Amino acid sequence: MHSSRSLLFVSALFVAFSMTPVASPQAQGLDIAEANVIDLTHALGPDTIFWPTETDGFKLTELYKGPTKGPEGFFYAAYKFCAVEHGGTHLDAPFHFAEQGWRTDQIPLTRLIGPAVVIDVSAKAAKDPDYSLKAADVAAWEAAHGKVPVGAIVLLRTGWSSRWPDKHAYLGDNTPGDASNLHFPSYGAEAAQMLVERGAAVLGVDTASIDNGPSRKFLVHQLTGAANVAGLENLTNLDKLPPTGAWVLALPIKLEGGSGAPARVVAFVR
């Protein structure tokens, strides 16, 4: 599809969404043809950070690169890659922690496109690397910007993406195969429950998990999975988004039966 036609298609898609009850008032009339497009995705490659127990990492194997044979030869390149679902910028399907939850390919597209809510706790996380978002933080955001809209893609900014790809700085520990001594901020269970009750479609964060590093029961994963709320982990560039008014498009690989998948996540900002 020609790029200009693609832009018109996506513009029409966002207009259609802005006319539904899912959209927030701030998102009304967003013209993405004039919007700034922000990539919220880390590249998937040899420096990608994976959960410590996933020790295989990322592998890219060259199948062919160079000119083809014959009088009509031309340049050709092809590779194969291997990676686990939950590494780099990726989506957690509800099924990841909920047996009856949607699998990756079952999540409706309407749940993956929506108005962004950006909650900034970077100052608090700088003082406490294990900081967890509190219900009071959500209440303070709502006091300043209005109620979290139904269908929102909530993005928690901790500032941790600035540490990428330093595994020790990002995870708090760099022991292969051991996830027992991790330290990074994320959502707290009460705040996550509050956001689920508001009707959030996705909870995203610029750290390795929607539960903070010391978590053992992964309560945020459990309660979001049970509510068919997806997660986005290892995001970046959240500092380039306003607290409200942006729209997010979060598209994972449509992995049949999967519990998650690498994702390309972008935001459209006025």
What separation, in Å, do the N-terminal and C-terminal C-alpha atoms of the chain show?
Answer: 25
Cβ-based neighbour number of residue 126 at 10 Å: 13
**In sequence order, which ranges of the chain are alpha helices (DSSP H)?**
3-18, 122-127, 135-145, 167-171, 189-198, 219-226
The residues near 155 (Cβ < 8 Å, ≥ 6 apart) are 40, 116, 117, 118, 119, 204, 205, 206, 232, 235, 238, 241, 248
Q: Which of 42, 86, 96, 221 is catalytic?
A: 96
Q: Answer yes or no: 42 catalytic.
A: no
What SS3 class is residue 56? coil
- The residues that bridge with 192 in the sheet, in sequence order, are none
Residue 5's alpha-carbon distances to 1, 8, 265, 269, in angstroms, are 7, 5, 21, 20
Positions marked active-site: 96
